[in-house]
């Protein structure tokens, strides 16, 4: 992910990519040569050279590196999830606040053009069903499927709900790792909105689909292909259907542009630290509920 982020920022107008940092110095040099920037094997080497940094290390290292970068005065874009615990997230949010630094969390699906179009069309959604499936990859396996994959749709559900979560129930399974590899969660929000979310990292097919319902309108989104389909009823009672295509967008580039703009204009990005914390809190609760159920029926 660090390589992808570096490529987007290197191509972003008004931004200078100062360096890439990797504990594998050879890998850092190879990417730096391609992007015509510096290469370091430690983030401490950025002192005095950069205004901002993107953290794309394994999740269990987010907190320590992010805290050190914030202490050094760097605005941060941290890959999701923000951290591994709420205490870690709270410390980073507080530190960024004290130092008046931008803290953005990489919930990149918020920048998916199909999701943005769907969210703009829905004025009072009542229910969302999300399915996110992927093949197993060692990258990200330091966390379970809830923190790796489902957290994307947890964040999207929160964005659609526009209310605080009220209750969570969940089930899940271990398949290839000691953690949770497949899970289903039901999240109810204070305003009656309900999210039913499924995630698996042991699938043969890649699936990223949403189905959203509100009064008189149903929307189906394929976030992978960027396709939307709406079914609704007109004021005259006629069933109407329409389709839209939002393929070809670059959510990662849009996220990078939002971060650069927030740093430059001293504004709040689309997904700030508090929203990242909210998604983490729900993901941890889903994980807790899954483990409780596994222990009960072991």
State yes or no: pLDDT of 297 exceeds 90: no
pLDDT, the chain, mean: 95
> Model confidence over 170-224: pLDDT tens digits?
999 998 888 899 999 999 999 999 999 999 999 989 999 999 999 989 999 999 9
**Residue 130: how many CB atoms within 10 A of its CB?**
25
Q: Which CATH number fits domain 2-107+253-272: 3.20.20.70, 3.40.50.720, 3.30.1490.110, 3.90.1150.10?
A: 3.40.50.720
Q: Where in 140-269 does DSSP place strands (E)?
A: 165-173, 182-189, 194-200, 207-214, 217-222, 227-233, 239-245
State yes or no: pLDDT of 139 exceeds 70: no
Domain positions in the chain are: 2-107+253-272, 109-249+282-296
Average pLDDT of the segment spanning 252-256: 97
The DSSP annotation for 112-131 comes to -HHHHHHHHH-SS--EEEEE
Task: Give residue 87's Cα distance to chain centre.
Answer: 19
Cα–Cα distance between 11 and 180 in angstroms, integer?
37
Q: What is the dihedral of CA 121, 124, 129, 130, to 10 degrees?
A: 50
The CATH homologous superfamily for domain 109-249+282-296 is: Dihydrodipicolinate Reductase; domain 2 (3.30.360.10)
Give the strand order in the sheet containing 52-55.
Answer: 52-55, 75-79, 103-106
> Model confidence over 86-137: pLDDT tens digits?
999 999 999 999 999 999 999 999 999 999 999 999 999 999 999 999 998 7
Are 289 and 91 in contact by the 8 Å Cβ rule? The answer is: no
The total number of residues written for the chain in this structure = 298
* The domains spanning 2-107+253-272 and 109-249+282-296 adopt the same CATH topology: no
The whole model's pTM is what? 0.94
């Amino acid at each position: 992910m660090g390589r992808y982020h570096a490529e987007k920022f290197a191509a972003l107008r008004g931004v200078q990519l100062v360096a890439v940092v990797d504990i594998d110095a050879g890998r850092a040099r190879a990417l730096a040569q391609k992007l015509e920037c510096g290469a370091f094997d430690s983030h401490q080497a950025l002192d005095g050279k950069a205004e901002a940094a993107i953290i794309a290390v394994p999740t269990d290292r987010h907190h320590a590196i992010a805290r050190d970068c914030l202490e050094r005065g760097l605005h941060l874009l941290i890959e999701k999830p923000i951290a591994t615990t709420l205490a870690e997230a709270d410390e980073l949010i507080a530190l960024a606040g004290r130092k008046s630094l931008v803290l953005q969390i990489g919930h990149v699906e918020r920048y998916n053009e199909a999701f943005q179009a769907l969210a703009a069309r829905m004025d009072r959604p009542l229910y969302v069903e999300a399915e996110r499936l992927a093949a197993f990859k060692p990258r990200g396996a330091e966390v379970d499927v809830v923190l790796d994959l489902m957290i994307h749709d947890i964040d999207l559900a929160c964005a659609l709900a526009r209310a605080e979560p009220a209750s969570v129930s969940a089930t899940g399974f271990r398949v290839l790792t000691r953690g949770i590899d497949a899970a289903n969660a039901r999240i109810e929000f204070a305003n009656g909105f309900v999210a039913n979310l499924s995630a698996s990292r042991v699938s043969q097919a890649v699936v990223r689909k949403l189905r959203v319902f509100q009064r008189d309108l149903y929307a189906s989104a394929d976030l992978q292909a960027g396709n939307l389909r709406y079914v609704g009823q007109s004021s005259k009672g006629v069933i109407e259907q329409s389709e839209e295509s939002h393929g070809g967008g670059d959510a990662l580039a849009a996220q990078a542009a939002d971060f650069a703009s927030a740093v430059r204009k001293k504004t709040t990005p689309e997904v700030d630290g508090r929203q990242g914390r909210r998604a983490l809190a729900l993901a941890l609760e889903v994980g807790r509920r899954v483990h409780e159920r596994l222990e009960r029926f072991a």
